[in-house]
Structures are given as C-alpha cells and as structure tokens.
Amino acid sequence: MSQQHHHGTKELAAFIRDGMTKRTDQAFGDYFTGQNASCALGAAYEAMYRLPRDGAHPTRDLDWFFDCLDTVKACPAEGCKKKLFLAAILVHLNDDHRWSRAQIADWLEKNGNGSRPVEASPTGTVPPTRG
C-alpha cells in the first residue's frame, strides 16, 4: 500500500479542515498559538497525529504526507512568483498572504494531482540569477 501520492493533497486538505475544527482560530508565524489557534500546516499536523491509531509512532502513515509536502509548487497567490516546497507554501500562504486555512484547503483540493509540480506556464521561465 504505497501508491497514495495522487490523493495526498486532498487528504492534506481534509486534515487541515479537521484541524480547523480543533482550533478555531488561525495562527500566524507559528504552528500553534495558545490553546485555540493553528496555522494551516499546524492544523494538518494536529489532525494527522490524532488519527485514531493505537500505535505510538504514526510516522509510517505519514510517509505519503511528507511525500506530498515535498513537492515543489508555484505559489497560487496573485502576482507572487515564488516556488516552494508544498510545506513551505502552506506556511507562506498562511503567514505572508494571510490566506485562511479554508482557502488553503480549497486550493489544495483543486491542485490535487500531486504528481507534477506546476511548471508549464507559458511565461514561466525562471529569471536568471543576477551576479
């Protein structure tokens, strides 16, 4: 059972939504703030770690999760040209663009192919680094 990456981002979105119900406020700049706030990634982590499993080490179940967080994605925010690992995108959208966790989850669901980073935009060449 290891061919799960195609639904990774959708599950991730589901975990974020689940985490949102546990902490109803959104945190910025931190995974968790106080008792009742989490950022997008914090919400996903929290929901993930509270899966009803008896094992103390959920890491094996998290493989697909980290796989999916390891995909490079283009930042979906207007005018932003960043390309980051998905985990960093979540934090970036949360902290820098102040997307709500629901918005981020929506975006994840719509970008749920998981297999291929967004790369084929017509003008999407990476600008040369300036010396």
Applying the rule CB under 5 A, the residues between 4 and 63 that interact with Zn ion are: none
Comparing CB distances to Zn ion, the nearer of 51 and 80 is 80
- Number of residues binding to Zn ion, judged by CB under 5 A: 4
Comparing CB distances to Zn ion, the nearer of 37 and 77 is 77
Cβ atoms of 47 and 16 within 8 Å: the answer is yes
Choose, by CB under 5 A, the member of 34, 70, 80, 110 that binds Zn ion. 80
Give the Cα separation of 49 and 27 in Å (integer).
18
Stretch that binds Zn ion, among 7-15, 58-66, 81-89, 112-120 (CB under 5 A): 81-89
Q: In terms of DSSP bridges, do strands 25-26 and 37-38 run parallel, antiparallel, or are they unpaired?
A: parallel
At residue 98, the 3 state secondary structure works out as: coil
Strand partners, 25: 37
Convert residues 58-77 into a mask of x (bound to Zn ion by CB under 5 A) and - (unbound).
-----------------x-x
Cα 105 from chain centroid?
8
Comparing CB distances to Zn ion, the nearer of 14 and 102 is 102
Give the Cα separation of 124 and 131 in Å (integer).
21
Q: In a 10 Å sphere around its CB, with 0-12 CB exposed, 13-18 middle and 19+ buried, how is residue 67 labelled?
A: middle
82 contacts Zn ion (rule: CB under 5 A): yes
Comparing CB distances to Zn ion, the nearer of 4 and 103 is 103
Residue ranges that bind Zn ion, judged by CB under 5 A: 75, 77, 80, 82
